[in-house]
A and B are shown apart, each in its own frame.
Chain A
């Protein structure tokens, strides 16, 4: 007799625990407003990432197509993966002095681990993280990017 009581106790106790769990799921079934899912591809236009989000390295240009990069290569030295390549050229100024200038700033997105060291060490704040996160492409070559726009030049420092 005891065995039967034990068995029934176990059976109903088990059913009770299952119902406790179903109470939780049932609550959310009738309260759909508490569900926090984002409808991602549909909300693409309104979706805004956080300001500090590490999307990809980019070089901001102002309205005169000028950037701040002096081609000092500190970012290239500090990059742990070799995903940055700064190619510079020597330009002769009017006064006859030779000066290093940025030719191409190559950024290999496929090798980048988004550690953010390059942006931290940049003395000119010439590069920043942009918020784009949709990096999928069909061709691997498209992940090798040139950050400075064609025809861009170095922004002269404002004289005080």
Chain B
């Protein structure tokens, strides 16, 4: 990066520095990209983070493990339930508590619903980034059905905070199973519309095919996980390779594409929606009876030591590291957020492409900015 600063002082006169953001409609948040241009071609990108830094990790050092959960909602708000689950799994693992099967099943279903809702929102926002405003309404129309399911069972549409160490706050609503089944029937009809509207579209194809290529080696070395990494052929699905909750009881395909361009990252996400629906269908009829939570002590103290738990969030691998000294607060907590690693590769991906392609590349990486800064 030092080289970059000297360049900006005028050593190479033909370079032109442009700020994209912090306020830019296509960054979906306060992300600042310092772009060095040669003509219209992107030479280098330097991401500047920190515009929405809230110090969540530091705040967590003065919160109990039950209270931490509601802050993990606010990192990657589109996969809030999955982030909650990571902390809960860590606490349960550290205390060696076996949660009931019912909790595992419901957690997996809610995880996949969260993933569906997240990918739907990504799909409509991606279309909008490329100028197809119609997709925004079609994606949000279907997402509304999932949010209704969440609202009825958890009480909140986006930031659920439904998980607690040991289980859930409440049992599922009596309508839950029927609503989920109805939704799957409904969405199986609607998902082909997505392909008709956007996937086959000639403008979309021109703007994403062979644009923003991330090689497999780079994906691994930068730690690009989730559908963005799987678009490059990086088999990194935590659900498949390190199953948690009820993922070892279901059959699903790890979506892998090889090319690593924006279009394959797009295809990986759309394919994942089909796989998510398959997982839900396998589980929804077999939810076992039982308690919805294990009785926990009011004050949870983790034994001294280090703990790490990872889950597959909608955008990649989400990890929680806790260093405990035996107190009721964690001594140090660190979140491994998928978006931070995905953003770090943007210089590698976008260099050499036009500045208009950067919007498509940013859209295909599916960045959520509060998750980058935490």
Contact = CB atoms under 8 A, between A and B. Distances in A.
A and B found bound together: yes
Interface of A: 13-14, 17-18, 20-21, 23-25, 35-36, 49-50, 52-54, 78, 80, 113-117, 120-121, 129
Interface string B189-224: 000010011101111010000000000000000000
Q: What's the dominant secondary structure at chain B's contact region? A: helix
Nearest to A119: B169
A54 B169 contact: no
Given A13-B202, A80-B70, A24 B151 contact: no
B196 A50 contact: no
B249 interface: no
Interface residues of B, number: 34
B69 interface: yes
B243 interface: no
A24 B192 CA distance: 10
Contacts of A18: 201-203
9 contacts: A14-B202, A17-B200, A17-B205, A18-B201, A21-B196, A49-B151, A52-B153, A54-B155, A113-B159
A120 B151 contact: no
Nearest to B197: A21
A50 B161 CA distance: 17
A63 to B, nearest CB: 27
Interface string B158-202: 010100100001100100000000000000000001001110111
Nearest to B142: A36
A86 B91 CA distance: 30
Given A17-B202, A21-B198, A78 B155 contact: no
B8 interface: no
A54 B173 CA distance: 15
B160 to A, nearest CB: 9
B144 interface: yes
Contact of A115 (B69, B173, B202, B205): B69
Contacts of A78: 64, 66-67
A120 B169 contact: yes
A142 B328 CA distance: 35
Nearest to A37: B141
Nearest to B164: A120
Contacts of A35: 141
Contacts of B173: 50, 52
B71 A24 contact: no
Contact of A20 (B71, B144, B196, B298): B196
Given A21-B201, A24-B196, A114 B67 contact: no
A115 B153 CA distance: 14
A91 B268 CA distance: 66
B270 to A, nearest CB: 15
B23 interface: no
A54 B159 CA distance: 11
B97 interface: no
B298 A121 contact: yes
Given A24-B193, A54-B156, 8 more contacts: A17-B201, A20-B200, A24-B196, A50-B152, A52-B173, A78-B64, A113-B159, A114-B156
Given A24-B196, A53-B151, A80-B67, A116 B161 contact: yes
B153 to A, nearest CB: 7
Interface string B218-258: 00000000000000000000000000000000000000000
Nearest to A131: B155
Given A14-B202, A18-B202, A80 B63 contact: yes
Nearest to A120: B169
